[in-house]
Amino acid sequence: MKILILAQEYPSDGNIYRNHYIHTRLKTYLEKNIELVVLSFSTVNSYNFEGVEIVSESDYYKNFKGCNFDLVIVHAPNIRNHFRFLIKNRSFGKLLFVIHGHEVLFRSKYYPKPFKFKRGMFFPVINSFNNFYDLLKLVFLKKYFVKGIKKKSLYFIFVSEWMKKEFLKNVKLSADLLNDNSIIIPNPVGENFIENSYNCDETKLADFITVRPIDRSKHSIDIVVKAAEQNPNFSFHVYGEGDYFKHNVQPKNLKVFSKYISHSELPELLDNYRAAMMPTRLDSQGVMMCEMAMYGIPVITSDLPICREMLDSFNNICFIDNNKVKFNADKFLTSISCHKIDKKKFLPEETILKEIDLVKSVSQNQK
């Protein structure tokens, strides 16, 4: 079996964070002896990253144009690259679309406005252009998907029920069209969060940890700031890069470490804190939030439908109202204890292995 993966960008030695959720999947694909090639539209030079072969579009045409792929998997497709490529190469048989979020949403109806210091004088113009683009995008997606579904050549993976619901609403498709060709499979979590567990007894550096790019409003650093201001006797550590605190007051009990934390470093780092504060204004799943919950550290996150869908079954979660932030750190920390976590929800059998079963059945014409 040989599979072609289409991605806008892919991790490399110089930037390990680009679409890392795709790489997490493909490492398991390789372990299961699935032969694959990734076409990254953002790369100019082909390369190999941790055993995964990534090719540029020009190298694809040189070396793989005549290859008979059993399946093409399309992650977070955009019109500029993914669909342009698919329309140009109409000979592909079956296509499996993995829907992650913004690519199928009218973004301004979902994404919060950027923080004021990020908007700039041309923000209204850019926002209007994005709205116009999204209108055209959603019209195109409906036409393309309906045609492919009728030909029985398209299959879909949604990372959450919420994502599927919003996909249907935005693309304006009938749910009946996806009865036999779609499945809900969350993004897999890292093995180190499954195989290891939070150490309650480790000496703590501070009370709360947040790991976020701090300049993106959807990641809600302002909510972490409010929680810190409401709890001056507790310490908050934030790991992430950005200029937010060049434009906003930083509470004395909040310390920023301006760096990214690698996937492999995170579990050991979490042991140094009593709880993780991970509010959000928008997620189609929230993989890091799920990984922290799986690891077993108490997690404070936002009371949103997607967060409830992902984490309602966990006993180490506190949900807060984004619009009325009232967080009592003392009450939370004294009420929470180290529970044994039921890790079933994000085990490989419920995520990546289920995805691989689907990939095999579709590519072997069993669906």
Gap between the Cα atoms of 26 and 28, Å rounded? 5
- Together in a domain, 200 and 183: no
- Together in a domain, 172 and 112: yes
Gap between the Cα atoms of 10 and 337, Å rounded? 39
- Together in a domain, 234 and 355: no
Q: What is the CATH number of the domain that holds 132?
A: 3.40.50.2000
The one-digit pLDDT tens for each residue of the chain (367 residues) are 899 999 999 998 877 778 888 998 999 999 999 999 999 999 999 999 999 999 999 999 999 988 889 999 999 999 999 999 999 998 898 999 999 999 999 999 999 999 999 998 999 999 999 999 999 999 999 999 999 999 999 999 999 999 999 999 999 999 999 999 999 999 999 899 999 999 988 889 999 999 999 999 999 999 999 999 999 999 999 999 999 999 999 999 999 999 878 888 999 999 999 999 999 999 999 999 999 999 999 999 999 999 999 999 998 999 999 999 999 999 999 887 777 788 889 999 999 999 999 999 998 875 5
- Together in a domain, 272 and 205: yes
- Together in a domain, 303 and 199: yes
The whole-number pLDDT of residue 261 equals: 86
- Together in a domain, 82 and 156: yes
Cβ atoms 221, 238 nearer than 8 A: yes
- Together in a domain, 178 and 62: yes
Q: H/E/C letters for each residue in the chain?
A: CEEEEEECCCCECCECCCCHHHHHHHHHHHHCCCEEEEEECCCCCCEEECCEEEECHHHHHHHCCCCCCCEEEEECCCHHHHHHHHHHCCCCCCEEEEECCHHHCCHHHCCCCCCHHHHCCCHHHHHHHHHHHHHHHHHHHHHHHHHHHHCCCEEEEECCHHHHHHHHHHHCCCHHHHCCCEEECCCCCCHHHHHCCCCCCCCCCEEEEEECCCCCHHHCHHHHHHHHHHCCCCCEEEECCCCHHHHCCCCCCEEEECCCCCCCCHHHHHCCEEEEECCCCCCCCCHHHHHHHHHCCCEEEECCHHHHHHHCCCCCEEEECCCCCCCCHHHHHHHCCCCCCCCHHHCHHHCHHHHHHHHHHHHCCCC
- Together in a domain, 146 and 202: no
- Together in a domain, 76 and 223: no
Cβ atoms 122, 43 nearer than 8 A: no
Domain housing 209: 191-345
The whole-number pLDDT of residue 66 equals: 83
The whole-number pLDDT of residue 279 equals: 98
- Together in a domain, 170 and 247: no
In angstroms, the Cα distances linking 33 to 45, 61, 193 are: 25, 25, 24
The whole-number pLDDT of residue 24 equals: 87
The whole-number pLDDT of residue 367 equals: 53
- Together in a domain, 210 and 181: no
- Together in a domain, 209 and 236: yes
Domain count, the chain: 2
Gap between the Cα atoms of 286 and 288, Å rounded? 6
- Other beta carbons within 10 Å of 45: 10
Enter the tokens of residue 222: 């302002």
